Chain A
């Protein structure tokens, strides 16, 4: 089956036992990751912590300034605004989205639905569209003009035109809609996979016991889907905290209404050349993600306990 090969002689150093050779190959095979990660991953991440305590414009000398970078950003109202915006956009973009995804998944899972695969494709296609393309299209859809498609549609219901790009809530709703659109189908297909793995006899038993449809949904479907829901909420939370492209493109730069943490970081670094405060922002973002992950973790643990 496998031919003997003269290269064996060169690959095998003399005098090494079989066990040692295997171990050596193991280290060799995993070394590319550790090598490249050390240079492009670990070192930059650690260096961010160092840079967070330096004043540096990217060219001259670095000077140690202690916690000054942190006090600078913590006293900058825009920094707090960017955290607030990130959380609000994240909640608006994922909360309703996950509920809609669950409803779509339940509908798709119903036995009587025809053309399931067509629906799946239609729901999934936004997810293969790049964020940049989505942001550009939605910038035009949510044009501030009266003739913008969303404004024109709203006017049919007697709602006057909204300044989507320049108003506090307009910008957030528009950006949240982009996130909603790009991910709702993706998540509904993940939920659908979960629904299909729930044993049918659970529902049959409940039916015999006289449970109504909504009771079955609440007491069978939701608990059985819990691991998937927890996972989706985890990834959605971390993804939300990293929103960058949508507000950059939609707000045409750095508008206050749509400033997010990563956008603030990017502006400090590559627009203001303040690499110290930018690094302090990166460290803050890292800590924020840890806090949110911990909250998620404890919340899902508590859910687990109360469910039992």
Chain B
């Protein structure tokens, strides 16, 4: 009797989880299906649920409409450089806040925490005009330079460095005659590689998927990131859904593949960021 009840429970839980997993994966699968179908299939009943034969043709149409690989490259450049900058400046500042004594340290750190709570849209319009004044419209610099520093990154690095590196180690290195930047470079950097991985994934994903700011300052096709490029596909007057979803699918695939390869690291990085705050 008891065993039977346990079995029923087990089946119910598994059915629930499997339905959830299917619903979770289905839109991605279906994106692929549509990327392989001709446009008229969208009006066909019953709807297509298996791949068709237009995989190559649809993608060729994408290439005719937008500079797909150029946009991918732009996204890659923007996300990589921003991530490198965030890792460097955040760990440097995080080290200062965690281990160096200076006047006003706690107050300045509190200022950084407060800036995290202000919605980014508040400054959107003046930001746009600053970028215009600097002549950075349609220039990837408009995304990279303001993104180089990030309050959350500093907060995150400070917490990590505080616990990861004993004060004695830093003092000993200083007595040895190390400059403070050398302490950072030779002692701090090698001991915070896991924190780099976490913050790096968070930043890269955020920049890669960002939409509002690139949409505002990248108006010229040659400067489009991939998100703006696929939005441009969808915004065209004549809608070829096979083509639109082909672009969307190929734009989504790289990050999903990287995620599947390093899923443990991704999941822990992306959730740690919020659980530990």
Contacts and interface: CB of A to CB of B under 8 A. Distances in A.
Contacts of A93: none
A222 interface: no
A169 interface: no
A184 to B, nearest CB: 8
A132 B154 CA distance: 28
Contacts of B93: 29-30, 32-33
Interface in A27-52: 27, 29-30, 32-34, 36-37, 39-45, 47-48, 51
Interface in B8-23: 9-10, 13-14, 16-17, 20-21, 23
B95 interface: yes
Given A19-B101, A138-B27, A147-B43, A282 B122 contact: yes
Contact of A51 (B43, B126, B176): B126
A108 B252 contact: no
Interface in B115-146: 115, 117-119, 121-130, 145-146
A189 B21 CA distance: 13
A231 B89 CA distance: 27
Contacts, number: 292
Contact of A122 (B25, B97, B176): B25
30 contacts: A25-B96, A29-B100, A39-B130, A44-B125, A44-B126, A44-B130, A47-B123, A48-B126, A51-B125, A113-B17, A117-B264, A122-B21, A124-B263, A130-B255, A132-B227, A133-B252, A136-B234, A136-B245, A137-B30, A140-B42, A238-B119, A262-B121, A269-B124, A269-B125, A275-B125, A279-B125, A282-B121, A282-B125, A285-B121, A289-B119
Interface of A: 1-2, 4-5, 7-8, 11-12, 18-19, 21-27, 29-30, 32-34, 36-37, 39-45, 47-48, 51, 58, 103-104, 107-108, 110, 112-114, 117-134, 136-141, 143, 145-149, 152, 181, 184-186, 189-190, 193-194, 228, 231-232, 235, 238, 241-242, 244-245, 249, 252, 262, 265-266, 269-270, 275, 278-279, 282-283, 285-286, 289, 293
A123 to B, nearest CB: 5
Which 10 A-B pairs give the minimum distances between C-beta atoms?
Answer: A44-B123, A44-B126, A26-B102, A40-B146, A26-B100, A23-B102, A122-B21, A29-B96, A25-B180, A130-B209
Interface stretch (B56-64, B191-199, B265-273): B265-273
Per DSSP, chain B at the interface is: helix
Contacts of A127: 270
Interface residues of B, number: 98
A264 to B, nearest CB: 11
B97 to A, nearest CB: 7
A125 B28 contact: yes
A32 B149 contact: yes
Per DSSP, chain A at the interface is: helix
Nearest to B100: A26
A2 B178 contact: yes
A131 B40 CA distance: 26
Given A33-B93, A262-B212, A119 B125 contact: no
A147 B42 CA distance: 7
A136 B105 CA distance: 46
Contacts of A193: 271, 275
B234 A249 contact: yes
Given A4-B177, A122-B24, 5 more contacts: A44-B122, A120-B267, A122-B25, A245-B212, A275-B125
Contacts of B231: 132, 136, 249
Given A107-B16, A133-B31, A245 B211 contact: yes
B234 A37 contact: no
Contacts of A22: 100-102, 180
B251 interface: yes
Contacts of A152: 45-47
A133 B103 CA distance: 47
B260 interface: yes
A110 B205 CA distance: 31
